[in-house]
């Protein structure tokens, strides 16, 4: 420890910080995806079963436009946040590899891969399209 300059972290401390971030983004993407999907399922159920909502949406085409815009905007925000988590996860993984404190095979599974980002995005896209169809078909 004496060979470290004041304020400089050891490789172990750097690894622990970066590895913790990697786990946080990996878990956060799954958690955020499930929360977004849950909201979309609730909205779809509400649209499919509520007579009063159906009556309200049938009163004005503008209300339907607003509903579609709100759902699509929500999906766009989700997609952007998920993309940022994907990018930061991959930057963090690269920093861990550059640190070379531990072989990457021990933490590579905690990196967000493009396939996972696309899978989660497509799953929420399907729900979003379903809601748009429910709104437009009223």
Classify residue 109: in a domain, yes or no: yes
- Give 128's contacts (C-beta < 8 A, 6+ positions apart): 40, 71, 72, 74, 75
Stretch 115-124: mean pLDDT, rounded?
Answer: 97
Domain count, the chain: 1
Classify residue 1: in a domain, yes or no: no
Classify residue 24: in a domain, yes or no: yes
pLDDT in tens, 60-85: 899 999 999 999 999 999 999 999 99
pLDDT in tens, 1-37: 456 677 789 999 999 999 999 999 999 999 999 999 9
Classify residue 2: in a domain, yes or no: no
Classify residue 87: in a domain, yes or no: yes
> pTM of the prediction?
0.86
Classify residue 6: in a domain, yes or no: no
Q: What percent of the chain has pLDDT over 90?
A: 87
């Amino acid at each position: 420890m004496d060979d470290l300059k004041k304020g400089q972290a050891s490789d172990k401390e750097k690894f622990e910080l970066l590895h913790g971030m990697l786990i946080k983004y990996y878990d956060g993407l799954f958690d955020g995806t499930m929360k977004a999907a849950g909201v979309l399922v609730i909205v779809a159920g509400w649209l499919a079963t509520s007579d009063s909502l159906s009556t309200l949406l049938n009163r004005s085409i503008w209300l339907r436009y607003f509903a579609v815009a709100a759902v699509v905007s929500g999906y766009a925000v989700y997609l952007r946040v998920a993309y940022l988590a994907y990018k930061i996860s991959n930057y963090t993984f690269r920093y861990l590899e550059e640190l070379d404190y531990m072989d990457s095979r021990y933490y590579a599974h905690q990196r967000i891969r493009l396939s996972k980002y696309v899978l989660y995005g497509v799953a929420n896209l399907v729900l979003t399209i379903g809601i748009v169809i429910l709104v437009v078909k009223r």
